[in-house]
Amino acid sequence: MPGGPRLRGAVQAVSLILFLWLLVMARQRPGAEPPSFSGFFFWIDPLILVATFLAAHAVPVLLLSALATVLVTLVAGRVFCGWICPFGTLHSAVGWVCDRIWHKGRKREHWSGWQRAKYYVLAGFLAMALLGGHWVTIFDPIVLLYRSTTTALLPGLQWAVEESSTAVFNWDAKLGPLKPSAVTEPCRKFLREHLFAVDSQSFIGSELILVVFVGLLAANAFRRRWWCRYACPTGALLGLLSIRPLLRRALAESTCTKCDLCSANCQGNAADGSGSGWRASECFVCLNCESACRRSSLAFEWDWPWRSEPVVTSVGLSRRAMMMSVVGGICTLWFFRSSPRASSKRLGYQARGLVFEPGLIRPPGARAEREFIQRCTACGLCMKVCPTGGLQPCVFEAGLEGLWTPRLVPQLGHCAYECNLCGQVCPTEAIMPLKLEDKKKFRLGLAAFDTTHCIPHAYGRDCMVCEECCPVPEKAIYFIETRIVTRTGEERTVKLPHVDADLCIGCGICENVCPLRGNPGIRVTNANESRNPANQPILPER
């Protein structure tokens, strides 16, 4: 195809821009909702479709859009990897830069048996999915890129903008009439209003997320598109679907000089030496080989899958290695679920010796913990749309199986009473889309006063901040006037706050606004949550 690589590059750029635009548009604006198609790239991802079906035995309707990707792959091969995937686009761009920096040392790479590794990784993850483990989506390229951008890259950019603009503003006083802040302040204001969702937003555990992201991109200095060739589970799934595509590479051996320029430009290491032994499952259809051939000996042609020509070489997967991967996946899931917290989630009741993690406060509309884990991809989309920044990625609170899944951290941000965005954008419905009226009644947990820290209880002085900010119309926090005696013998009336367990929804705003920062006088735990009938410590009144 003349100009094929240029066309591919243009499509890749459009795809990456669309991804970033949807990510920016997902930010919360007062009185506005994110676009209904904000989860587009998740919907066309076949790995999310397969993993959700195997783990949760259910598929949201929008995820069926991934069947279009499956159809395209069956017909034309791994076009999604080479043309559409935004994470693949980043790898391609970084690899291009690395090639320009280390051009003299660049080697012509050929098919390596290590490229089978991604298929064995996929087999282990799918075995986990069959037993209810949704962990494969942690490494899905769309999920990985969205999570990294949301929790690490954008907050890092926001920090850099705010710190630099503040430094420039403080520097103005030394320059007399010259005011650089006249330029930087409008830029900072524009970015805050149109790009950053929450002031000074940051996420727990973002350091590890950033290290993984940067490390995968840096691997392109070692092997171009290392992630796509050796480790990507989505690429492995699409590779299995594209073993016999209709679009295949044809080689005219009569004119081929064995110069091997095709291998030097191949992004997927799809062929053996001198352009022979082409593997459709490894080809990204980047068309670089066709463009690099000076004798036009290579071309992509349409042909029926059952024809023996053009020749398609098998990847040669080992049955023994596949079985070992399956066993490894099952053992890994057993390891994840061997902790007391994971066992209590699995059993769904307070078994002997098993406990609930009190700080594991899930978003409103979250399903029961076992089903939630079976559906959640840890993509970070709910964290992106949270207007207060209260939704944070788990580290160890939900066990390793729940790594980077969302939880509410009230000290960082509360659950806004008039907001139900997290359920609207969740691509797998791990968070159910609740109507606003239903969401207001959904109990995330229960607030409780720490009388050793609460100002009225511990220090005998009135403080009404929590009661004033409680969003429940009937006020879940109420006061009881109590007579106390000070150290001087003076009698004083103090309003001691209490929590009405029947009204509290656990939104966390009371903990968020408590004047005692770091160790608030009121704390919210997941006790009394609507989604878990076993975690109900408050008995109904008789």
Over residues 308-350, the pLDDT tens digits come to: 555 667 788 899 999 999 999 999 999 988 877 665 555 444 4
- Residue 176 scores a pLDDT above 80: no
- Residue 206 scores a pLDDT above 50: yes
Please check whether residue 196 lies inside any domain of the structure: no
283 and 359 in a single domain? The answer is no
Please, what's the largest Cα pairwise distance for the chain? Answer: 107
Please check whether residue 198 lies inside any domain of the structure: no
277 and 378 in a single domain? The answer is no
Domain count for the chain, please give it. 2
- For the stretch 100-154, pLDDT in tens is 887 655 567 788 889 999 999 999 999 999 999 999 999 999 999 999 999 999 9
- For the stretch 415-434, pLDDT in tens is 999 999 999 999 999 999 99
Q: Residue 472 in contact with residue 505, Cβ under 8 Å? A: yes
Distance, CA of 417 to chain centre: 24
Which pLDDT does position 542 carry in this prediction?
A: 47
pTM greater than the 0.95 cutoff: no
Q: Encoding tokens for residue 316?
A: 């040669």
- For the stretch 353-401, pLDDT in tens is 456 788 999 999 999 988 999 999 999 999 998 989 999 999 988 888 9
Please check whether residue 197 lies inside any domain of the structure: no
Please check whether residue 151 lies inside any domain of the structure: no
Secondary element (H or E) of residue 497 = strand 491-499
251 and 345 in a single domain? The answer is no
- Residue 194 scores a pLDDT above 80: no
412 and 489 in a single domain? The answer is yes
Mean pLDDT, range 443-455, rounded to an integer: 94
445 and 296 in a single domain? The answer is no
At 306, is the pLDDT very low, low, confident or very high (cuts 50, 70, 90)?
low
Distance, CA of 228 to chain centre: 18
Please check whether residue 167 lies inside any domain of the structure: no
Least trusted range by pLDDT, from 90-99, 149-158, 340-349, 488-497: 340-349
Which pLDDT does position 352 carry in this prediction?
A: 43
- Opening angle at CA 15, ends 209 and 75, nearest 5: 110
- Residue 441 scores a pLDDT above 60: yes
User: What residues make up the domain containing 465?
Assistant: 337-525
Which pLDDT does position 350 carry in this prediction?
A: 45
218 and 285 in a single domain? The answer is yes
375 and 501 in a single domain? The answer is yes
Please check whether residue 241 lies inside any domain of the structure: yes
- Residue 491 scores a pLDDT above 70: yes
Which pLDDT does position 351 carry in this prediction?
A: 45
298 and 231 in a single domain? The answer is yes
502 and 459 in a single domain? The answer is yes
Please enumerate in sequence order all residues whose Cβ is within 8 A of that of 23, keeping only pairs 6 or more positions apart, or say none: 146, 149, 150, 384
Backbone angles phi, psi at 432, to 5 degrees: -70, 140
Which pLDDT does position 538 carry in this prediction?
A: 66
343 and 441 in a single domain? The answer is yes
Q: Tell which residue, 79, 83, 48, has the closest CA to residue 62.
A: 48
Q: Is the peptide bond before 310 cis (omega within 30 degrees of 0)?
A: yes
Please check whether residue 319 lies inside any domain of the structure: no
295 and 411 in a single domain? The answer is no
226 and 363 in a single domain? The answer is no
Long-range contacts of 464-468 (CB under 8 A, 24+ apart): 464/495, 464/497, 465/513, 465/514, 465/515, 466/497, 466/510, 466/513, 466/514, 466/522, 467/497
